[in-house]
């Protein structure tokens, strides 16, 4: 399989072009609809004129038909009593009947042309109405697609951003693990390992002192050796506590937090940490105690390292259905809308809370401190 890194910028460009193409199609459909509306308006006006001409033609045809019948009747009478009329009257009767017949025929042809034009305009208007309705329907559908597409693009962008952050977070975890291994290696080498080496050297010295100077001198060396072993034991316990407090398994979350926060307050002389457990002190399943301890530990460390706080308040409330933790500090705060490149500590906290199906809320104002609210349901 290919391990090439996916180019999110290329995907963003493709999606933007797709949105632009859909938007252009919407504009084209709108232009088609507008042209159809203009043509519909023009044809509607023409239809009114044609219908008026048809009515006038029908009226004129009715008159010509009546005049033609009368002229034919007159011509028939002249033909029957030919001798009773003069040549001029006979010729006039024939000419008038012929002229009216021609006018009537022309009127009939004009009426037919006007009717055909009327019917054609009405058919075109029906087609234009259908086109306009389809254009409006298409615009409506395209608008819906655009809304969904823009919404999906936003979600895709967020998903890509989250995926990118999670990838970077994973790399940071690996780096942090390696750094932690290096730190532990240095601490063990410089602390307990060095002390154990000194113990071995000191034990050889005690043996030599005992042989050369006797028991009392050797006992003094043994006392010094005990102090050295005690220091080495303290260092080992401190390293183990940093990895995972043994008290968490033995005593539970609340006593471990009390001891941890008291140790932090003792080490940082300028910091005051207030801890309160609102309800009864009770044990939780191991996964909850470890996760909650690490979440509180991370929040307190953030307040110490980044917020430059003078006072930190930790409130813990455990009831039957959930655990609520509130960590508040009076530090310098930060802009929660501003994305920081090194905000992987907060992302790690969110990951822990999501694993417990809980919620994490962080509210901070520049110059007014930060409050972290953690709520985890107890599915026991």
Domain with residue 345: its CATH number is 3.30.565.10
**What is the C-alpha to C-alpha distance for residues 68 and 294, in angstroms, rounded to an integer?**
111
Query: Is 301 in the same domain as 331?
Result: yes
Residue 173 belongs to a domain: no
Q: Which of 146, 168, 190 is the last residue of a domain?
A: 168
pLDDT of residue 1: 43
The torsion angles phi and psi of 4, rounded to 5 degrees, stand at -65, 140
Q: Within a domain: residue 131?
A: yes
Count helices and strands in the chain by DSSP H and E runs = 8, 5
Residue 64: how many CA atoms within 13 Å on its side-chain side? Answer: 18
Asked if residue 2 is part of any domain, the answer here is no
In a domain, 240, yes or no: no
* End-of-domain residue from the set 110, 144, 168: 168
Q: How far is CA 184 from CA 79, 169, 173, 178, 344, in A?
A: 138, 22, 16, 10, 22
The answer on 156 and 14 residing in a single domain is yes
Considering the domain architecture, whether residues 106 and 140 belong to the same structural domain is answered as yes
Looking at residue 374, its pLDDT comes to 93
Residues 13 and 150 placed together within one structural domain of the fold: yes
Residue 1 placed within a domain: no
Residues 26 and 143 in one domain: yes
Judge whether 368 lies within some domain.
Answer: yes
* pLDDT recorded at residue 152: 54
Regarding whether 196 and 217 lie in a shared domain, the answer is yes
Whether residues 18 and 161 fall in one domain: yes
Residue 278 and residue 142 share a domain: no
Residue ranges for the chain with pLDDT beneath 50: 1-6, 341-342
**Are residues 36 and 141 both part of a single domain?**
yes
CA of residue 364 relative to chain centroid, distance: 23
Give me the pLDDT at residue 297, please: 87
Residues 50 and 88 in one domain: yes
Q: Please tell me the distance from the alpha carbon of residue 340 to that of residue 278, in angstroms, as a whole number.
A: 34
Residues 230, 293 within the same domain:
no
**CATH code, domain with 55:** 1.10.287.950
Work out how many domains the chain is built from and give that number.
Answer: 3
Distance CA 358, CA 373 (A): 11
If asked whether residues 254 and 332 sit together in one domain, one would say yes
Residue 134 sits in which domain range?
A: 8-168
Sign of the four-CA dihedral 214, 217, 223, 229? negative
């Amino acid at each position: 399989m290919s391990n090439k890194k996916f180019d999110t910028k290329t995907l963003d460009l493709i999606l933007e072009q797709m949105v632009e193409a859909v938007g252009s199609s919407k504009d084209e459909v709108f232009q088609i609809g507008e042209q159809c509306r203009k043509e519909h308006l023009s044809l509607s006006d023409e239809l009114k004129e044609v219908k008026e001409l048809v009515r006038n033609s029908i009226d004129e045809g009715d008159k010509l038909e009546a005049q033609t019948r009368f002229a034919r009747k007159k011509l028939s009478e002249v033909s029957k009593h030919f001798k009773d009329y003069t040549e001029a009257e006979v010729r006039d009767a024939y000419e008038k009947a012929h002229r009216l017949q021609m006018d009537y025929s022309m009127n009939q042809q004009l009426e037919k042309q006007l009717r055909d034009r009327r019917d054609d305009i009405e058919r075109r208007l029906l087609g234009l109405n259908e086109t306009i309705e389809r254009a409006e329907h298409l615009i409506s559908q395209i608008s819906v697609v655009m809304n969904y597409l823009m919404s999906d693009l936003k979600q895709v962008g967020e998903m890509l951003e989250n995926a990118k952050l999670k990838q970077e977070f994973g790399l940071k975890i690996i780096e942090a693990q390696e750094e932690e291994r290096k730190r532990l290696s240095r601490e063990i080498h410089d602390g307990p390992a060095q002390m154990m080496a000194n113990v071995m050297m000191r034990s050889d010295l005690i043996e030599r002192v005992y042989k050369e100077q006797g028991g009392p001198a050797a006992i003094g060396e043994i006392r010094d050796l005990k102090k050295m072993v005690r220091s080495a034991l303290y260092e080992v316990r401190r390293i183990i506590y940093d990895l995972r407090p043994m008290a968490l398994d033995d005593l539970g979350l609340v006593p471990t937090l009390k001891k941890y926060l008291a140790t932090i307050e003792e080490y940082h002389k300028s910091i005051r940490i207030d801890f309160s457990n609102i309800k009864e002190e009770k044990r939780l399943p191991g996964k909850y105690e470890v996760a909650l301890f690490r979440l509180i530990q991370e929040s307190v460390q953030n307040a110490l390292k980044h917020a430059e706080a003078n006072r930190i308040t930790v409130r813990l409330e455990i009831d039957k259905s959930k655990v609520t933790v509130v960590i508040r500090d009076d530090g310098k705060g930060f802009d929660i809308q501003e994305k920081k490149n090194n905000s992987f500590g907060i992302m790690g906290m969110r990951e822990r809370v999501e694993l417990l199906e809980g919620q994490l809320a962080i509210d901070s104002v520049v110059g007014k401190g930060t409050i972290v609210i953690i709520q985890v349901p107890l599915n026991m």
